[in-house]
Amino acid sequence: MRQIRITLLSLLVMAGFAAFPLKRDSRIVPLAAAASAQQAPPTVASVVDREISSVEQQILDVAEAMPEDKFNFSPEGLNIRGSDYKGIRSFAVQLKHVAASNYFIWSPLTGDKLPEDLNDGNGPEGLKTKAGIILFLKQSFALGHKAAATLTANNLLQVPEGSESTRLHLAEFGVAHAYDHYGQMVEYLRMNGIVPPASRKKSE
């Protein structure tokens, strides 16, 4: 009798385990299918937009990392023997140059009118505060996101009015140009004893 009770108990336990996956799958499979259906396939616009977001974050991070009293720093002031930094842009002008160039490069894609006083690519001369320069940067990258949104598979090789380059080249050149100056600004930080945010350990 005891053996029969144990056998019956074992059968009940096994039946419970057998039933569990069916209930679990009935809930998970529809959710997984729904999540997969919600993920939109990548487009030219979304890929370029992601690249703009990446360089935007890098530039803003170095801008935030530099103390405001060092914004006018230029390697020229270090008087490094054998170097030639005469007339090179200060950290602040590097940032303003990126922002001004963003407007020049991306405005043909959106048709937006250029802001006044871009100063041949070095940005407004009267813009000197850290907060003001960072705001100028953010506004210029907002134009980049707007420009990316105009891209389609059908218009990539079109040359927009007021430009001699294709839409795809303009969109990507804005990213490449910003990364060029990001590399320079990283060195400005290190010359002032500041580790660039992207090079810091996760624990810091």
What is the structure's pLDDT at 6? 42
Q: Which of 52, 29, 20, 32 is nearest to 143 (CA)?
A: 52
Output the pLDDT for position 193: 96
What does the pLDDT read at residue 4?
42
Q: Rounded to an integer, what distance in angstroms lies between the CA atom of residue 89 and that of residue 166?
A: 29
Is 204 inside a domain boundary? no
Same domain, 193 and 99: yes
Within the chain, which residues score under 50 in pLDDT? 1-28, 203
Based on the domain organization, do 33 and 64 belong to the same domain?
A: no
Asked, for residue 203, whether it belongs to a domain, the answer is: no
pLDDT number for residue 33: 54
| Among candidate residues 94, 93, 92, 113, the one with its CA nearest the CA of residue 104 | 113
Closest CA to 181 of 189, 171, 169, 170: 189
- Which residue range(s) make up the domain with 27? 1-39
* Residue-level pLDDT at 160: 93
Nearest to 181 by CA among 115, 110, 123, 129: 123
Place of tokens 């039946």: 15
CB 24 within 8 A of CB 164: no
Q: Provide the number of structural domains found in the chain.
A: 2
d(CA 5, CA 152): 71
pLDDT score for 5: 47
- What pLDDT does residue 19 have? 45
Structure tokens at 168: 């795809």
Q: Are 64 and 134 in contact (CB under 8 A)?
A: yes
In a domain, 124, yes or no: yes
Give the Cα separation of 144 and 171 in Å (integer). Answer: 8
Report d(CA 75, CA 159) in Å as an integer: 39
The answer to whether residues 73 and 5 belong to one domain is no
Q: How far, CA to CA in Å, does 98 sit from each of 87, 90, 92?
A: 17, 12, 10
29 and 54 assigned to the same domain: no
In a domain, 90, yes or no: yes
CATH number of domain containing 141: 1.20.120.450
The pLDDT of residue 38 = 72
